[in-house]
Amino acid sequence: MSAYAPPLRDLRFVLDELLAVPALLQRCGRGELDADTIDQVLEGAGRFAAEVIAPLNAGGDRQGCSMPRPGEVRTPDGFPDAYRSFVDAGWTGLGCSTDFGGQALPLAIGSAVNEMLSGANMAWAAYPGMSHAAYLCIEANGSDAQKALYLPRIASGDWAGTMCLTEPHCGTDLGLLRTRALAAADGSYRITGSKIFISGGEQDLTGNIVHLVLARLEDAPPGVKGISLFVVPKRLPDAEGQPGARNPVHCSGIEQKMGIHGNATCTLDFDAATGWLLGQPNQGLAAMFVMMNHARVAVGVNAVGLMEAARQKSLAYAREREQGRAAVRIGGAADPIIAHADVRRMLLTQKAWVEGARALALWATTLIDSQHLDPDAAERHRAGQLLAIATPVVKAFCSDLAVESIGLAMQCFGGHGYIRDNGVEQHLRDARIIPLYEGTNGVQAMDLLDRKVIADGGRGLDVLLGCIDDWVASQAQVPALREFCLPLSALAAELRAVTAAVLAESETDPQAIGAAAAPYLRLVGHLLLAWMWARMAALSIDRIARDGGEPIHAAKLATARFYVERLLPEVQARCAEIRAGAASLTALPAELF
């Protein structure tokens, strides 16, 4: 099994050359975060990922989490020590405000760190990842007293956080949730109900866990308009803010799941547990979406980390494994399988997916940074419009690509990929949860088409298409870019056309949007990926012309050409699928399925 190697050079290419993050931070008043400083952060995180948590990945998968006593969860051997090392080095406060003891690094940098942690050991990385999402939710919605109590302790890593949304009977339809909140005389509430699929719901890493729980007040209206958000700590803070008496919140079981065995995915029972309202009554879903939207981008980054780890393994194997005789011989009795055309197809597909998705996901994080940090109000608004489109695409498209890409990594190994010893089958099992996380990819597709495009009147989509049109126009004098710009322009025009077609059909067919949603998201995903690859090709062409470039620039240009010629043509099928409408989906009666 090959070791995990942090993709530092490619992360530098994306952050420094493609996205110009140091320049963005300079404009936003964070000029102290120059390229050298960012490199130091990435190198430190890469060492931790490769040397501390990657060696725990396979063993943690085999051992999994356990419950030695009712309600008590034990994480795999080595996980608590690694977490303590992470905390001692200050990594938990990377993206937290300096007001609460953090380092206030922008999300683009934190996401690059997150990618490496996830590639090295996704199950372990999910613990601090979920805590940071809880931090952001409290920061956005909490009172001054709640922020002062909880945020420094989450930023320090002493306390963890969770997100408690769904229940056994309701799945994604949170309007059906039954957990109740009964007001107490002291201003707190008593929370009663059961929540499932709670990542890190119980563990042995931290002294306390802060659960963010959706529940209904006594007089709440039905449906999603009657949901409130509560902060419910595992241990009630005492007068000094230290973990005190145990709150009646109990883990009644650990989910027996396909992958990420080292992460405790729990069922939690709240038995009149003490909690406090976070934000406004009956506004809990809007408050929780701060956490949800962050998590949707974050799990897209997780997906990139996992497919990078699998790609590394398949590439190392393809270089070493000698089997068969290639059309152009490079070996002795047999050739390394990297010489075979079909293996090269699979390796290049992985490379195009991984590096394109990395650029796309990190671009989305720069939009989040711009939305919060840019001094220009118009730029903040523009970033928000682009982010609304990008968020469901990063979550769904990147996670779908991860499953496909890791499947190709396994295929490169042949039968050896199906056994545990080579590690790829674990990456595939771990990655398979991401298309289900934070609303399934079908939910993301409906969110994109119905809410972010049609309900918005297409304004956000027009901003995105305008950005692409402007970029293509700016490259019109570069003949070497025609092979990338022409397909990109054609796809932008086709997206405009199919969007109008779906909108027109939806006026008479209520099934039209649902039928088009999944292929539509895939189409927008390819548009964004084609834009990222065209921009990477432009940078590489320019650098090669100026000084010959580095090996990475030649590799980027070749991979961009492979993507455009061999992968982008998929959009023709997706457009045909959208234009086919809903008729064939609705013709068969349910009883005949």
- Per residue in 68-86, pLDDT (tens digit) is 999 999 999 999 999 999 9
Which of 88, 108, 139 is at the close of a domain? 139
Number of domains the chain contains: 4
What's the average model confidence in pLDDT over 297-315?
97
Which of 80, 107, 139 is at the close of a domain? 139
**Does the pLDDT value for residue 18 go beyond 80?**
yes
What's the average model confidence in pLDDT over 427-453?
96
What's the average model confidence in pLDDT over 534-563?
97
- Which CATH number covers residue 412? 1.20.140.10
**Selection from 401, 544, 551, 433 nearest residue 480 by Cα:** 544
**Gap between the Cα atoms of 50 and 43, Å rounded:** 10
**Does the pLDDT value for residue 397 go beyond 60?**
yes
Work out the pLDDT band at 332, boundaries 50, 70, 90.
Answer: confident
- Domain, as residue range, for 80: 8-139
Task: With respect to residue 32, please indicate whether it lies within any of the assigned structural domains.
Answer: yes
Tell me how crowded residue 99 is: count the other CB atoms within 10 A of its CB: 13
| Tokens standing for residue 68 | 């030695």
Report CA 180 to chain centroid distance, whole Å. 31
In terms of domains, do 509 and 556 share one?
Answer: yes
Task: With respect to residue 301, please indicate whether it lies within any of the assigned structural domains.
Answer: yes
CA-angle at 581, arms to 577 and 584, nearest 5°: 90
**Gap between the Cα atoms of 25 and 23, Å rounded:** 5
Q: Which helix (H) or strand (E) holds 541?
A: helix 512-547
According to the model, what pLDDT value does residue 1 have? 55
CA dihedral 439, 441, 444, 449 (to 10 degrees): -150
Task: With respect to residue 3, please indicate whether it lies within any of the assigned structural domains.
Answer: no
* Residues 247/173, Cβ–Cβ less than 8 Å: no
What's the mean per-residue pLDDT of the chain? 95
**Gap between the Cα atoms of 383 and 369, Å rounded:** 9
Share of the chain above pLDDT 90, in %: 89
In terms of domains, do 276 and 297 share one?
Answer: no
| Tokens standing for residue 554 | 């030649």
- The residue ranking higher by pLDDT, 43 or 327, is 43
* Residues 241/156, Cβ–Cβ less than 8 Å: no
Task: With respect to residue 271, please indicate whether it lies within any of the assigned structural domains.
Answer: yes
In terms of domains, do 252 and 174 share one?
Answer: yes
Which of 237, 264, 282 is at the close of a domain? 282
- Where do the H-state alpha helices sit in 188-244? none
In terms of domains, do 130 and 165 share one?
Answer: no
In terms of domains, do 89 and 211 share one?
Answer: no
Give the 3-state secondary structure percentages of the chain, helix then strand then coil, rounded to 5.
65, 10, 25
DSSP 244-267: EEEPSEEEEEE---SS-TTS-EEE
**Selection from 84, 103, 87 nearest residue 38 by Cα:** 103
How many angstroms separate the first and last alpha carbons of the chain?
43
Cα–Cα distances (Å) from 362 to 114, 382, 390, 454, 550, in that order, read: 11, 17, 11, 26, 22
**Choice among 438, 505, 565, 570 that is catalytic:** 438
Task: With respect to residue 172, please indicate whether it lies within any of the assigned structural domains.
Answer: yes
Q: Which helix (H) or strand (E) holds 325?
A: none
Instruction: Name the E strands within 114-164.
Output: 159-164
Task: With respect to residue 448, please indicate whether it lies within any of the assigned structural domains.
Answer: no
**Selection from 80, 83, 11 nearest residue 48 by Cα:** 83
Q: Which helix (H) or strand (E) holds 25?
A: helix 21-27
In terms of domains, do 242 and 299 share one?
Answer: no
In terms of domains, do 296 and 427 share one?
Answer: yes
Residues contacting 2, CB < 8 A, separation 6+: 312, 313, 316, 317, 423
**Selection from 391, 387, 371, 368 nearest residue 379 by Cα:** 371
* Residues 448/524, Cβ–Cβ less than 8 Å: yes
Total residue length of the chain: 593
Cα–Cα distances (Å) from 216 to 64, 144, 195, 290, 562, in that order, read: 34, 24, 13, 19, 52
* AA letter at 109: I
* Residues 179/215, Cβ–Cβ less than 8 Å: yes
DSSP 20-89: -HHHHHHHTT-TTS-HHHHHHHHHHHHHHIIIIIGGGHHHHHHH--EEEETTEEEPPTTHHHHHHHHHHT
Residue keyed to tokens 């989910």: 255
What's the average model confidence in pLDDT over 232-238?
97
In terms of domains, do 381 and 333 share one?
Answer: yes
* Backbone phi and psi for residue 376, each to the nearest 5 degrees, phi listed first: -95, 115
* Residues 124/263, Cβ–Cβ less than 8 Å: yes
What's the average model confidence in pLDDT over 107-112?
96
SS3 assignment for 326-392: CCCCCCCCCCEHHHCHHHHHHHHHHHHHHHHHHHHHHHHHHHHHHHHHCCCHHHHHHHHHHHHHHHH
- The residue ranking higher by pLDDT, 141 or 175, is 141
Task: With respect to residue 306, please indicate whether it lies within any of the assigned structural domains.
Answer: yes
Residues contacting 75, CB < 8 A, separation 6+: 60, 65, 203, 204, 205, 262, 264
**Gap between the Cα atoms of 249 and 238, Å rounded:** 17
Pairing verdict, β 189-199 and 265-277? antiparallel
Task: With respect to residue 407, please indicate whether it lies within any of the assigned structural domains.
Answer: yes
* Residues 49/120, Cβ–Cβ less than 8 Å: yes
In terms of domains, do 359 and 411 share one?
Answer: yes
**Gap between the Cα atoms of 248 and 422, Å rounded:** 43
According to the model, what pLDDT value does residue 143 have? 96
In terms of domains, do 495 and 564 share one?
Answer: yes
**Gap between the Cα atoms of 581 and 505, Å rounded:** 8
| Tokens standing for residue 35 | 């390229």
In terms of domains, do 307 and 249 share one?
Answer: no
What's the average model confidence in pLDDT over 330-357?
93
HSE-up (13 A, CA, CB side) for residue 253: 8
SS3 assignment for 493-539: HHHHHHHHHHHHHHCCCCCHHHHHHHHHHHHHHHHHHHHHHHHHHHH
In terms of domains, do 12 and 118 share one?
Answer: yes
- Per residue in 368-380, pLDDT (tens digit) is 999 999 999 999 9
- Per residue in 197-221, pLDDT (tens digit) is 999 999 999 999 999 999 999 999 9
438 is catalytic: yes
**Does the pLDDT value for residue 31 go beyond 90?**
no
According to the model, what pLDDT value does residue 2 have? 65
Residues contacting 125, CB < 8 A, separation 6+: 53, 114, 117, 118, 302, 305
Report CA 561 to chain centroid distance, whole Å. 26
